[in-house]
Structure 1
Amino acid sequence: MNPTLHAARLGFARGWMEFKHQVTSAQDIGFVVITTAAFVVVLYFQRDATLPGTDLSLAAATLPGLLGLMIPINALMGAVGTLAVEREDGTLLRAKALPQGMVGYLVGKVVVLSISTLASLVVLLVAGLFLVPELAGTGVGGWLTIAWITVLGLLSALPLGAVIGAVAGSPQAAGGLVMLTVGGLTAISGVFYPITALAGWLQGLAHVFPLYWLGLGMRSALLPDSAAAAEIGGSWRPVETTLVLAAWAVAGLVLAPPILRRMARRESGSLMEQRRHRAMQRIG
């Protein structure tokens, strides 16, 4: 069997095992559970309110933004945090020592983070069926749109998270950088309000990044066609959404492997011990 394919197959198995362990570990699953629960609570308190001048419930208008935001929060932050921590604890160094070990390691991380993100989206959608009556009217086309937007969102977020985790000097620095990035993009990407309310240059900046397009794609799947009037150009722009998310996915998949290989080549026991020593000093 081809060594790379064999390593990828082992990576799939490892990712599934890590997910099962994650489900049984309160510490590992805590962030995902708290984030998903917070989003469900938001929907619960909005279930009886409607958007002014419309019959659309506020929860129905908020749900697409929550779905779009959950993908980078879980995938990006998960990739950054996991890679940064496992550089310090020696997991990455042990993977590097195995034949095609980095291939199996990366495949495993993609699998476990994708499954956990998908599980969070499913939980939110199931809650939405009870709290957002409009969701029951979503047709096959809407569900297919959610599926391909989710796949493109994962492909655009996971490689970017791997790159940030590879270049960050510590888990704390990685986490802080991701929080600032996600927070800033959330503020300008119109996931919870029409982006047309922002200044023109901020609209242009938001169009560069995936989060705006994730929110737009989810809105096109779950909101009535009449809601497109609030969007730029009065259209859901499915072609542009696909192209931008695909471009980010391709860029990440092209850039991430060489950056990760370079980072792995530089890993050594002495560097790991230095990072561990600095971590102990921070704790002490």
Structure 2
Amino acid sequence: MNATALRAGFQRGLIELRQSFTTVQDLWGYFFPTVVFLVVMTLMKGSVIPGTTFSRGSMTLPSLIGASVGFNAMMSTMQQLTVEREDGTLLRAKALPNGMSGYLIGKIVMVSGMTLVGIALLIVPGLFMFDGLEIDAMTWVTLAWVLVLGLVATLPIGAVFGSLFENPRTMGVIMLPVMALVGTSGIFYPIGELPSWIQGIAQVFPLYWLGLGMRSAFLPDSMVAVEIGQSWRTWETLGVLGAWAVAGLVLAPIVLRRMARRESGSTVAARREKALQRMPG
């Protein structure tokens, strides 16, 4: 990848990110989930984690920050690729010199920016609304490396799935399993409360480790008692997220290249024709 493609992709991503701040649909996507999460966590304030006096709402905040990183990176990347594959944007990028490289860099910048905005909207009010969180210099250090590694681990997953599905209407196929994974990854309650076989499945995927990493950043050391092995498992978090990052960075370019080679004017026209046929007359 040359410097021109890198610079063009970065600029493209920033432009698309700025445009998202002026689009009603995108603004709704930023604020509505945040409001829902804050309301749900507020309702959980009166409940405590079993065996402790710590509020379930306070414990859920860092878990949701981690889950938001993984969920937004995967689903937003997937959605962007499928939508722009169907409307011909990706085909136009393919026709330009270094167009695909610039296009992908732009998507990485845009989705990363959207994810950062989303978690900022959770963190800023959350720190004032929920008690018991411990904030110091290491909080921000841990937040930074978990965030960066989490994005690198999950963005390629979204790119792979976005390459496999031809239109955004098929996203429901992957949405339900992802939502089930969120529900079983210790985001809303300690994973130790779940059956051991579910714990094992959850620990294979990045969402659990993102939530654990964020809890290690924001929660007091006493709360490690409710985690698996009574440990924040920092090295394991680094290892699992790192493994997903390496696998994604190897697999995603292969899948994307194959997908790009199949794109042509006739395939885009065929998708548009199918979309028109599904529209009510």
Indicate the TM-score class for this superposition, using the shorter chain for normalisation: over 0.9
- Written as runs of structure 1 = structure 2, the 5 A alignment for 1:130-141 is 130-135=128-133, 137-141=134-138
Equivalent residue letter for 1:274:
A
- Written as runs of structure 1 = structure 2, the 5 A alignment for 1:85-164 is 85-135=83-133, 137-164=134-161
User: What's the TM-score, normalizing by structure 2?
Assistant: 0.95
Q: 2:79 aligns with which of 69, 78, 81?
A: 81
In structure 1, the residue matched to 2:234 is: 238
The answer to whether the 8 A contact 1:43-1:131 is kept is no
DSSP-derived class of the 1:189 partner: coil
In the alignment, is residue 184 of structure 1 matched against residue 207 of structure 2?
no
The answer to whether the 8 A contact 2:68-2:115 is kept is yes
DSSP-derived class of the 2:223 partner: helix
Name the CA distance, whole Å, in 1 between partners of 2:68 and 2:229: 26
Equivalent residue letter for 2:6:
A
Name the CA distance, whole Å, in 2 between partners of 1:130 and 1:187: 26
DSSP-derived class of the 1:56 partner: coil
Name the CA distance, whole Å, in 1 between partners of 2:86 and 2:180: 28
Name the CA distance, whole Å, in 1 between partners of 2:11 and 2:183: 38
Q: 1:43 aligns with which of 41, 45, 48?
A: 41
Number of residue pairs the alignment of both structures matches: 280
Name the CA distance, whole Å, in 2 between partners of 1:195 and 1:169: 35
The answer to whether the 8 A contact 1:47-1:131 is kept is no
Name the CA distance, whole Å, in 2 between partners of 1:120 and 1:161: 17
Q: 1:260 aligns with which of 256, 262, 276?
A: 256
Name the CA distance, whole Å, in 1 between partners of 2:201 and 2:155: 21
In structure 1, the residue matched to 2:53 is: 55
Cα 1:119/1:206, change in 2 over 3 Å: same
* Greater percentage in helix: 1
Q: Deviations over 1:120-166 (max 9, x none)?
A: 1111110112101333x311112211111111111111110011010
DSSP-derived class of the 2:61 partner: helix
Name the CA distance, whole Å, in 1 between partners of 2:184 and 2:42: 25
In structure 1, the residue matched to 2:192 is: 196
Equivalent residue letter for 2:273:
H
Equivalent residue letter for 2:223:
A
**Which ranges in structure 2 are unaligned for 5 or more consecutive residues?**
none
Q: Percent identity, aligned pairs only?
A: 52
Aligned-pair CA distance for 1:48: 5.3
In structure 1, the residue matched to 2:272 is: 276
Aligned-pair CA distance for 1:227: 1.0
In structure 1, the residue matched to 2:69 is: 71
Equivalent residue letter for 2:87:
D
Q: CA RMSD in A?
A: 1.5
Equivalent residue letter for 2:53:
D
Name the CA distance, whole Å, in 1 between partners of 2:128 and 2:270: 51
Aligned-pair CA distance for 1:52: 5.3
Cα 1:47/1:200, change in 2 over 3 Å: closer
The answer to whether the 8 A contact 2:85-2:166 is kept is no
In structure 1, the residue matched to 2:6 is: 8
Name the CA distance, whole Å, in 1 between partners of 2:35 and 2:5: 36
Equivalent residue letter for 1:113:
V
Name the CA distance, whole Å, in 2 between partners of 1:50 and 1:195: 15
DSSP-derived class of the 1:70 partner: helix
Name the CA distance, whole Å, in 2 between partners of 1:188 and 1:90: 37
Aligned-pair CA distance for 1:68: 1.4
Cα 1:33/1:190, change in 2 over 3 Å: same
Name the CA distance, whole Å, in 2 between partners of 1:266 and 1:51: 51
Cα 1:120/1:49, change in 2 over 3 Å: same
